[in-house]
Amino acid sequence: MKIKLIRYNSQRDYTNGLLFVNDRFECYTLEDEYRSIKVYGETRIPEGTYNVELRTVGGKNEKYKRKFPDMHKGMLWIKDVPGFEYILIHIGNTDQDTAGCVLVGSTADKDKGFIGASTAAYRDFYPEIADHILIGGKVTIEIKNIFD
């Protein structure tokens, strides 16, 4: 299974993107901004292709087990990003809700750095990916910038 994140807007505090699963548009994304020198919890990950696995430990995992008891099987974890650890795909609305992770939402306001209906987008996106991983399927995410 292939996830593709196309970043189309990069601002001082945030980055907007579009998320596709097997070439089908799924939702909008929001990440931290680009920094030439990484600042912990305030820098988006570099372009590239990474494996996605389930992370079944940690505070965010415990929180999501309680929040989504009907579907949660582990956090979607973007693995082996050089210089980064524990990059997750999760819910949130602004760059204040991420520490380098990828947020998902059903709506986007690129001028305000906001994505909306994040929980709904996550509920739509998460099960297909998690279930594929659980049956032993490989999931990758390709992240690409299309701005100058």
Instruction: Please name the amino acid found at residue 76.
Output: L
Per-residue confidence (pLDDT) for residue 148, from 0 to 100: 67
Per-residue confidence (pLDDT) for residue 132, from 0 to 100: 98
Strand, helix or coil for residue 1: coil
CA–CA gap between residue 48 and residue 67 (Å, rounded) = 31
Q: Within 28-142, where are the H helices?
A: 59-67, 118-134
Per-residue confidence (pLDDT) for residue 61, from 0 to 100: 97
How high is the mean pLDDT in each 10-residue block of the chain (148 residues)? 97 96 98 93 96 97 97 97 95 95 96 96 97 98 92
Domain-by-domain residue ranges, the chain? 2-145
Per-residue confidence (pLDDT) for residue 147, from 0 to 100: 83
Per-residue confidence (pLDDT) for residue 133, from 0 to 100: 98
pTM for the whole structure: 0.96
Name the token pair of 39.
Answer: 């600042």
Please give the backbone phi and psi of residue 60, each rounded to the nearest 5 degrees, phi first: -65, -40
